[in-house]
Amino acid sequence: MFSAFKSRYDHFIIGYSYKTNYLPALIKKLSKMGAYSEVVSRVEYDLALKLGVEPNKIIFNGPFKSYDDIALALEGNSILNLDSFYEIELVKEYAAAHTDKNHKVGIRTNFDLTIDGETPLLDGFERSRFGFFLENGDIETAIDELTSIPNVKVVGLHGHFSTSIRSLTIYKKIIQTLCNLAKHYLSDTLEYLDVGGGFFGHVPKTMNIKDAPTFEEYAEIICSVVNKEKKNFKKEPMLIIEPGLALVADTFKFFCKVIDVKKYQDESFVLVEGSVHNIKPAMHNRNLPLKHVKRDTRYYKQGKFNVVGYTCMEKDYLISGQIGEIPKPKDFLVFSNVGAYTIVFAPAFIKERPPIIAIEDGSYSLVRKREKLTDFINDKVYIY
Ligand SMILES: *Cc1c(COP(=O)(O)O)cnc(C)c1O
């Protein structure tokens, strides 16, 4: 993904979206590879610091920031994108108390993405709730207010949208709108344009998603707009993207053992030592790629089966309606493409969360230990 963009536009940064998967070993690896840290809360910011990330390589987004959060980000020269007017007041207050320095901020923008009368936003929302609205003049007001503070400059525009289609048309519209706004308001001060995340990664065939763009296609459409528009700015701006899912979805596999198999009429229920929470917390109904590791050398019957989890929820299906060789107890099932939002959305529910093993250059290391009762219900925080 990095080289697809970097080869087309040299001033380029990837900020890894922490909330997609917090595994410290993974974040450290991505930082080492040059990724910035994209965080949306103070605990995520503190995690970045704890992992040794330099503050000027942290991108601080999100709708909720306190005065202390903003102070910390400005002190550390982090990339700070403001989301609402209350944050402008906090910046004013900080800037007034710290007049020895010029402070740089960016703003998150929000504009209509409707295509042919239909909203592409995830879950069918007509309008995003994040950032400053374009059409009612909030963006202009925000820029005016910020630039009227003597020691504050607006240096960046951010436009992250979560859409279901993740299409090239969407990204073209986002980057073009950011460029148009920057030309109009920030041609002297612009330092970065940030199109956010929301990209498709490598989509497995089993998920049956047609027309998912490749990294090359995303890069081509976004970089061609920036390359065309960059002459309008005093300084060639940094282009930033903030992928989460696209970077990490295909880096994780989930291994679980088959406990039992029940049959009712023509359908089997394969119970495993795992749950839908471990592999698709969004509980979408697409099947993930599944590998069946057999422990029995004898014949396996073909048939229709579901893979179901250990929780007590009826809807705990890891796989539904698959046709193939029906697994037997003690076999293992391996699900791939489970790296996005699984670790962060795995509730402490009914059973401990599984350990995680990293494979690097053919060697194995434990990067998350097996949980015990005191990790599951942390007795440093719960009062017994
Ligand atoms: C969640 C988020 C991302 C990452 O989204 P993906 O869909 O996982 O790529 C990037 N930027 C912001 C501001 C986010 O909230």
Q: Sketch out the chain's domains with CATH numbers.
A: 2-249 (3.20.20.10), 252-351 (2.40.37.10), 355-384 (no CATH)
**Phi and psi angles of residue 349, each rounded to the nearest 5 degrees, phi first:** -135, 110
Q: Which residue has the tokens 């994040």?
A: 130
* Atom in ligand 1 nearest the alpha carbon of residue 20: 8
Contact 133, 139 (CB under 8 A): yes
**DSSP bridge pairs for 360:** 363
pLDDT of residue 208: 86
- The rounded Å distance from CA 152 to ligand 1 centre is 27
pLDDT of residue 347: 87
The 3-state secondary structure of 130-181 reads CCEECCCCHHHHHHHHHHCCCCEEEEEEECCCCECCCCHHHHHHHHHHHHHH
pLDDT in tens, 215-247: 999 999 999 999 999 999 999 999 999 999 999
pLDDT of residue 115: 87
- The rounded Å distance from CA 248 to ligand 1 centre is 12
The preferred substitution site among 162, 193, 247, 341 for testing ligand 1, maximizing ligand atoms within 8 Å of CB, is 162
CB count within 10 Å of CB 262 equals 11
252-277 mean pLDDT: 98
Q: Is the pLDDT of residue 24 over 90?
A: yes
- 23: CB partners within 8 A, 6+ apart: 343, 356, 367, 368
- The rounded Å distance from CA 108 to ligand 1 centre is 13
Q: How big, in percent rounded to 5, are the helix, strand and coil portions of the chain?
A: 30, 25, 45
Contact 105, 85 (CB under 8 A): no
The preferred substitution site among 1, 20, 39 for testing ligand 1, maximizing ligand atoms within 8 Å of CB, is 20
Structure tokens at 114: 């409707």
49, 104, 46: which is closest to 75 by C-alpha? 104
249-274 mean pLDDT: 97
pLDDT in tens, 170-204: 999 999 999 999 999 999 999 999 999 999 999 98
pLDDT of residue 252: 97
C-alpha 13 chain-centroid distance? 15
Structure tokens at 353: 């969360």
pLDDT of residue 125: 94
- 190: CB partners within 8 A, 6+ apart: 155, 156, 157, 182, 233, 234, 235, 237
The per-residue pLDDT of the chain, averaged, comes to: 96
Kindly tell me the sign of the dihedral angle through the C-alpha atoms of 237, 19, 282, 332: positive
- The rounded Å distance from CA 208 to ligand 1 centre is 23
pLDDT of residue 205: 86
- The rounded Å distance from CA 252 to ligand 1 centre is 18
pLDDT in tens, 35-53: 999 999 999 999 999 999 9
Ligand 1 interacting residues, C-beta cut-off 6 A: 17, 19-20, 38, 40, 61, 160, 162, 196-199, 242-246
Q: Is the pLDDT of residue 137 over 90?
A: yes
- The rounded Å distance from CA 197 to ligand 1 centre is 5
Q: Extract the runs of DSSP E, i.e. beta strands, from the chain.
A: 12-17, 36-39, 58-60, 79-82, 103-110, 132-133, 152-158, 192-194, 238-241, 253-264, 267-272, 290-293, 302-308, 317-325, 332-336, 356-360, 363-368
* C-alpha separations of 252 from 1, 51, 203, 334 in Å: 17, 21, 14, 10
302: left (phi over 0), alpha (psi -120 to 50) or beta: beta
- As a whole number of angstroms, the distance between CA 9 and CA 211 comes to 24
Give CA angle at 180 (236, 7), nearest 5°. 40
Burial (0-12, 13-18, 19+ Cβ within 10 Å), 145:
middle
Angle between helices 138-147 and 85-97 (to 10 degrees): 0
- As a whole number of angstroms, the distance between CA 191 and CA 179 comes to 12
Nearest CA to ligand 1 atom 10: 197
Strands 267-272 and 253-264: antiparallel
- As a whole number of angstroms, the distance between CA 258 and CA 292 comes to 10
* C-alpha separations of 25 from 31, 48, 51, 137, 238 in Å: 10, 12, 9, 43, 27
pLDDT in tens, 284-315: 989 999 999 999 999 999 999 999 999 999 99
pLDDT in tens, 114-136: 988 899 999 999 999 999 999 99
- The rounded Å distance from CA 21 to ligand 1 centre is 11
* Atom in ligand 1 nearest the alpha carbon of residue 61: 13
CA terminus-to-terminus distance, the chain: 48
